[in-house]
A and B are shown apart, each in its own frame.
Chain A
Amino acid sequence: MAVAADLTHRLRQGAEYTLIPLGALVVSAALFSVFLLGLGKSPQQFFELMWRGGFGTAFSWQNTLQRAAPLVLTALCVAIPARIGLVIIGGEGALVLGGFAAAAIAIPMIGPVAAGSLPVALMLGVMALAAALAGALWIGFAGWLRHARGVNETISSLLLTYIAIAILYFFVEGALRDPGSLNKPSTPPIGAGAMLQPIPGTDIHWGLAAGALLAVLLHLLMTRTTFGFAMRVTGGNPRAARAQGLPVGGLLVAATMIAGASAGLAGFFEVAAVHGNANASLVAGYGFTGILVSFLARHNPIAILPVAILFGGIAAAGGLIQRRMGLPDATVLLLQGVIFVVLLASETLYGRIAWLQPKRSGAP
């Protein structure tokens, strides 16, 4: 009896976390349709194109998943610190610096790898480590500033982003510039043979798999380990956590380092699987879109996956919508904005819809 009650409790709670966001999506679509009608465009055509461009065919799925891949990793950079009560918005900087570190550490290895005297896998491994470490130190620094100096981590992580971009430009346009990159300063390319190959049978790079794996691992870390429990307690009430003897400072720095490493890895995949070198193209805004994704996923690592795919799909369909409907690119941004606002507004519904509330049976 208790087991069955527990199951319905879980199901209803699960339903709440699924139905409310889905309802919010429907409401956003309705609001956006009104906007389209105001412009004299057909909402039906819009959503058909959205489906076709984002999810309708095998090609659109690849398109969607490729665009989602970096978002998963940068969203994790927001979600993990959020569990401990920190609002980190500097994932862009960690991504840029991670990508730069990966490209920079590869420079002395490019020759040996091309000559066959050094295995490609070793170089890629070192690059990934360097990227994760650079990101971890960068965002970890914001966490440390918060703990040791009381600096607001939201502001410091944002400002650190601009410093990271400046560091990238400084080296890419100076000491580490490939002399062959005349009009677009870049680091030397790691070489086509050394690039990370896509997942077999697709065009999708391994960043998506890495993001999914990391999301699951971090979810387990947060929900199934004492470390995760300590982080959640700290997020709930830092003073109580400290009173319980939890190492709050260490936890803060650890959470931000995990976050930074995740965004740094996104930078590694951009360099190793997409660009082949580091240059200004790394600064593409993935870190900032990741903030949106994490908030919409309510900072739940598992929920980040579908939300990132939704955003990937919207971005993938954006081009088709521009081309077929003659709408400007900003249309898609507007849709994203409407979804964001409606989803945030729907937060107030949690716990207020009686039908979704489990009956508190078995209470003494």
Chain B
Amino acid sequence: MSRGPLSRRTLLTSVAASGVAASGLAQTVGTALAQTNITVGILYVGPRDDFGYNQAHAVGAAELKKVPGVKVVEEENVPETIAVQRSMESMINLDGARLILATSFGYFDPHMLAMAAKYPRVEFRHAVGLWDQAKHPQNAGSYFGYLDQAHYVNGIAAGLVSKTKKIGFIAAKPIPSVLRNINAVLLGARKNMPDATVQVVFTGDWSLPVREAEATNALIAAGCDVITCHVDSPKVVVETAERRGVMTLGHNASQASLAPRGFVTGAEYKWETIYKGFADNLAKSQKLPNWVRGGYDLDYVRNTAYGAAATDGVRRACDTAIAELKRGAPIFVGPIKDNRGNTVIPATLDNYAPPLEGINYLVEGVIGSIT
């Protein structure tokens, strides 16, 4: 397994870049933008109201629209085909977009890269870190929120509310970003419940509603009383769990409205922080940072407002955990073994440590296999 797209150098530039973005935000965004007119084009791979990944971006876009002087043009259900390139081009040629936000993983290579080469005066940014300074156009870049930090808070909550000490996790594919979230939930839960387990079911794809419902039912039958997931849209999982009377933890966007009784909290992106930062850079004619990434420390992720199933104790513990994450408290405290007994993290890792980008294991306490 290669070490992932992160090297120490890109990490350092990214930290510097995110600092720039954050400081830009601190200044008054609105006044700087009032005189200018900036069009931002956003592409989504699915519907904007999917209660999941696309909705999270659409929420960010809606916040961006409120900034004076910014016009947002959106296109949903853009498949990861040549359609991506043509939609971007159409936004640039017909709407005058100066910044293109490509929100789906598969938009980057070859589509966004081709368009960035063709339109050097337009800025392109891609959600999920794939941009490499050595290889890719300078008017392109990546931005990313580290959702495992919010999933860790989910885990803290789960460790306090679970009676059976079993947490169910419905996951799409055994790829690093998903495995990292699963591991974070387990580590959070074990903070207060050292014998908690997380049981994982991989469905095999990002959106398989029937299989997600089956997996949810199977995990509940196996004794899990808290359910969470990492699939594109957690709607089916959360609704199924609510109907079965178990508690739920969200993912991507807010699913609180789907589970009025069992919702505890959820891991959510806060893309508007990044989007407003970009718009601010454009308004001030500053170079947009190529690499923006962060978690709670930069206000790029959040936890959904507590639901009915979150007790006062849970709320206090989660608030404390969030405050610690904002100060940079590590999640992956070494030594950590995987669930086959091998030591995978000998010493504590920082929350942005490059080895975490290539996680290919489930930590001890997670029941499941990636092969």
Q: Is B83 positioned at the interface, with any CB of A under 8 Å from its CB? A: yes
Q: Is the CB–CB distance between A281 and B81 below 8 Å? A: yes
Q: Is the CB–CB distance between A322 and B1 below 8 Å? A: no
Q: Is the CB–CB distance between B93 and A59 below 8 Å? A: yes
Per-residue CB contact flags for chain B residues 60-99 toward chain A (1 = under 8 Å, else 0) read: 0000000000000111111111110111011101110000
Contact of A320 among B90, B109, B110, B358 (CB under 8 A): B90
Per-residue CB contact flags for chain A residues 39-65 toward chain B (1 = under 8 Å, else 0) read: 000000000000011000001101100
Interface residues of B in 210-231 (CB under 8 A from A): none
Q: Is A360 positioned at the interface, with any CB of B under 8 Å from its CB? A: no
Of the listed stretches A180-188, A229-237, A250-258, A297-305, name the one at the interface; the rest are far from the partner chain.
A180-188
Q: Is B2 positioned at the interface, with any CB of A under 8 Å from its CB? A: yes
Q: Which residues of B contact A173 (CB under 8 A)?
A: 173
Q: Is the CB–CB distance between B86 and A63 below 8 Å? A: yes
Complex CA distance for A165 and B86, rounded to whole angstroms: 26
Q: Is the CB–CB distance between B2 and A179 below 8 Å? A: yes
Q: Which residues of B contact A205 (CB under 8 A)?
A: 82
Q: Is A323 positioned at the interface, with any CB of B under 8 Å from its CB? A: yes
Q: How far is the CB of B212 from chain A (nearest CB, A)?
A: 17
Q: Is the CB–CB distance between B83 and A182 below 8 Å? A: no
Q: Is the CB–CB distance between A316 and B106 below 8 Å? A: no
Per-residue CB contact flags for chain B residues 160-175 toward chain A (1 = under 8 Å, else 0) read: 0000000000000101
Given the interface pairs A67-B82, A316-B86, the reply to whether A183 lies near B175 with Cβ below 8 Å is: yes
Of the listed stretches A77-85, A135-143, A217-225, A268-276, name the one at the interface; the rest are far from the partner chain.
A268-276
Q: Is the CB–CB distance between A322 and B204 below 8 Å? A: no
Q: How far is the CB of B19 from chain A (nearest CB, A)?
A: 25
Interface residues of B in 1-30 (CB under 8 A from A): 1-2, 4-5
Q: Which residues of B contact A184 (CB under 8 A)?
A: 105-106, 175
Q: Is A319 positioned at the interface, with any CB of B under 8 Å from its CB? A: yes
Q: How far is the CB of A266 from chain B (nearest CB, A)?
A: 11
Closest residue on chain A to residue B3 by CB atoms? A182
Complex CA distance for A173 and B206, rounded to whole angstroms: 14
Complex CA distance for A114 and B188, rounded to whole angstroms: 47
User: Count of A residues near B, CB < 8 Å?
Assistant: 36
Q: Which residues of A contact B82 (CB under 8 A)?
A: 66-67, 205, 274
Q: Is B357 positioned at the interface, with any CB of A under 8 Å from its CB? A: yes
Complex CA distance for A315 and B86, rounded to whole angstroms: 10
Given the interface pairs A66-B86, A275-B110, the reply to whether A284 lies near B81 with Cβ below 8 Å is: yes
Closest residue on chain A to residue B87 by CB atoms? A319
Contact of B175 among A53, A185, A274, A281 (CB under 8 A): A185
Q: Is B176 positioned at the interface, with any CB of A under 8 Å from its CB? A: yes
Q: Which residues of A contact B86 (CB under 8 A)?
A: 62-63, 66-67, 316, 319
Contact of B90 among A183, A275, A276, A319 (CB under 8 A): A319
Q: Is B47 positioned at the interface, with any CB of A under 8 Å from its CB? A: yes
Q: Is A240 positioned at the interface, with any CB of B under 8 Å from its CB? A: no
Q: Which residues of A contact B173 (CB under 8 A)?
A: 173, 185
Q: Is the CB–CB distance between B74 and A323 below 8 Å? A: yes
Q: Is B184 positioned at the interface, with any CB of A under 8 Å from its CB? A: no
Q: Is A157 positioned at the interface, with any CB of B under 8 Å from its CB? A: no
Q: Is A23 positioned at the interface, with any CB of B under 8 Å from its CB? A: no
Q: How far is the CB of A195 from chain B (nearest CB, A)?
A: 8
Q: Is the CB–CB distance between A182 and B176 below 8 Å? A: yes
Contact of B106 among A276, A279, A286, A328 (CB under 8 A): A279
Closest residue on chain A to residue B76 by CB atoms? A329
Q: Which residues of A contact B74 (CB under 8 A)?
A: 322-323
Q: Is A206 positioned at the interface, with any CB of B under 8 Å from its CB? A: no
Q: Is the CB–CB distance between B47 and A329 below 8 Å? A: yes
Given the interface pairs A315-B83, A328-B47, the reply to whether A322 lies near B75 with Cβ below 8 Å is: yes
Interface size class of chain B, counting residues whose CB lies under 8 Å from the partner chain: 35 or more
Q: Is the CB–CB distance between B2 and A328 below 8 Å? A: no
Closest residue on chain A to residue B42 by CB atoms? A323
Complex CA distance for A315 and B78, rounded to whole angstroms: 10
Q: How far is the CB of B211 from chain A (nearest CB, A)?
A: 13
Contact of B176 among A62, A169, A183 (CB under 8 A): A183
Q: Which residues of A contact B175 (CB under 8 A)?
A: 182-185
Contact of B73 among A67, A285, A323 (CB under 8 A): A323
Complex CA distance for A331 and B4, rounded to whole angstroms: 40
Q: Is B138 positioned at the interface, with any CB of A under 8 Å from its CB? A: no
Complex CA distance for A113 and B244, rounded to whole angstroms: 57
Given the interface pairs A180-B2, A274-B81, A328-B76, the reply to whether A280 lies near B106 with Cβ below 8 Å is: yes
Q: How far is the CB of B2 from chain A (nearest CB, A)?
A: 5
Q: Is the CB–CB distance between B90 and A281 below 8 Å? A: no
Q: Which residues of B contact A328 (CB under 8 A)?
A: 47-48, 76
Q: Is the CB–CB distance between A270 and B81 below 8 Å? A: yes
Closest residue on chain B to residue A185 by CB atoms? B175
Contact of A182 among B4, B75, B91 (CB under 8 A): B4
Q: How far is the CB of B64 from chain A (nearest CB, A)?
A: 15
Complex CA distance for A180 and B6, rounded to whole angstroms: 12
Closest residue on chain A to residue B178 by CB atoms? A183
Q: Is B177 positioned at the interface, with any CB of A under 8 Å from its CB? A: yes
Complex CA distance for A274 and B81, rounded to whole angstroms: 7
Q: Is B156 positioned at the interface, with any CB of A under 8 Å from its CB? A: no
Complex CA distance for A205 and B82, rounded to whole angstroms: 10
Instruction: Name the residue among B2, B82, B85, B87 with the largest chain A CB count within 10 angstroms.
Output: B82
Given the interface pairs A183-B105, A183-B128, A322-B75, the reply to whether A59 lies near B110 with Cβ below 8 Å is: no
Q: How far is the CB of B61 from chain A (nearest CB, A)?
A: 12
Per-residue CB contact flags for chain A residues 299-325 toward chain B (1 = under 8 Å, else 0) read: 000000000000000011001101100
CB<8 Å pairs between A and B, sample of 17:
A67-B82, A67-B83, A173-B173, A182-B2, A182-B357, A183-B175, A183-B176, A184-B175, A185-B173, A205-B82, A276-B109, A280-B106, A281-B106, A319-B75, A319-B91, A323-B75, A323-B91
Known pairs A63-B90, A185-B175 / 10 extra A-B pairs, C-beta < 8 Å: A63-B86, A66-B86, A173-B173, A182-B175, A183-B128, A184-B105, A274-B82, A284-B80, A316-B90, A319-B90
Q: Which 8 pairs show the lowest CB-CB distances between chains A and B? A: A281-B80, A329-B77, A323-B73, A63-B86, A284-B79, A319-B75, A319-B87, A284-B81
Question: A residues touching B (Cβ–Cβ < 8 Å)?
Answer: 52-53, 59-60, 62-63, 66-67, 169, 173, 179-180, 182-185, 203, 205, 270, 274-276, 279-281, 284-286, 315-316, 319-320, 322-323, 328-329
